[in-house]
Amino acid sequence: MRQLYLNRAIAEAVAQEMKRDERVVLIGEDIINRGGGMSTFLGVYDQFPDRCLDMPIAESGFTHFGNGAALAGMRPIVDLMFSDFSALAFDAIVNGAAKFRFNSQGEACVPIVYVMVNGGRGAYTGGVGSGCNHSQCVEGWFQNIPGLKIVAPYYPSDALGLLKASIRDDDPVLFLYAEGSLGVREAVPEEMEPIPLHHAAKIMREGTDLTIVAVQAMVPTALKAVEELEKAGISAELIDPRVLIPLDLEKITASVRKTRRLLVVHEAPSRGGIGAEILSAVTQEALRDMKAARVLGAKNIPVGSGFAESLIIPQVEDVVRAAREVIAQ
């Protein structure tokens, strides 16, 4: 085991997959000189200079370029830096990559991974917020699109294993890593196997009174909330889905059938978010077993910069309060 920061885990996954498969290429802005906008690919260019391509500041253009490379037999990794910038590449992802397999009647596949940092910088954990154009969570934008897979890890070991699996996948994958986790360090095995994208949910804490499903940056927040609830005699089971599409509905539903209560917590606003989709899916499977459920998300306003981010995104006390309300129903 060694200690690995999240950005190093991403760089290691990419380098290992490029070594394993010569079809893997890395494209994006500042890849060569800075290792990408978040320095998540440091050292990759040094090892594979002929397969790292710097792109102009034109996300809508080089994302289509990546799609073309995938259709031509390559396995591109497209770095979009901030997930907010995926709005500029929406056409390529939604009207292009997500539909090529369907439109070709299964003859064409698009093995492409769009890598981007998702959510706030972590003002709720002592960081400084990046503002409304660099702090959005975009999983809700894309969850309605058939043909896409959405991966959303928080911890370095999960990022390493899930990114390797994403690169090997034959379908387009949105790989979202949390901006607030860039400084997170964790013990990671020397040899990390790919983590399958199916059935990927991980039970972080076992409990009997309430199931909490926490998405990405809300996992460490929910962990602290679980500890506070435990002091009050409330046993909460915490699940990190890690992959949002395909969702590990089986594991989440089994937990809810046991606890009979569900709280979904995510950093994005509640309206139209992944939390409502998770709640809906679980309800369809286990309605008769459920006593209460709710979704806790950010306030319905753009994310403020600086310390204001922490006033908008759910805090530990918000999770504790919401959990108590669900328990009381």
User: In this structure, which long-range contacts are made by residues 252-258, counting pairs with CB atoms below 8 Å and at least 24 apart in sequence?
Assistant: 252/201, 252/211, 252/213, 252/278, 252/282, 253/282, 253/285, 253/286, 255/203, 255/211, 256/211, 256/282, 256/286, 256/289, 256/290, 256/293, 257/286, 257/289, 258/208, 258/211
Nearest to 138 by CA among 216, 64, 212: 216
Count of other CB atoms within 10 angstroms of residue 10: 30
Quick check: is 134 catalytic?
yes
> Of 29, 59, 179, 277, which residue is the catalytic one?
59
Instruction: Region of 306 please: left (phi>0), alpha (psi -120 to 50) or beta.
Output: left
> Of 29, 64, 134, 186, which residue is the catalytic one?
134
Measure the CA angle with vertex 289, ends 217 and 257; round to 5°. Answer: 50
3-state SS assignment for residue 121? coil
Catalytic center residues: 59, 134
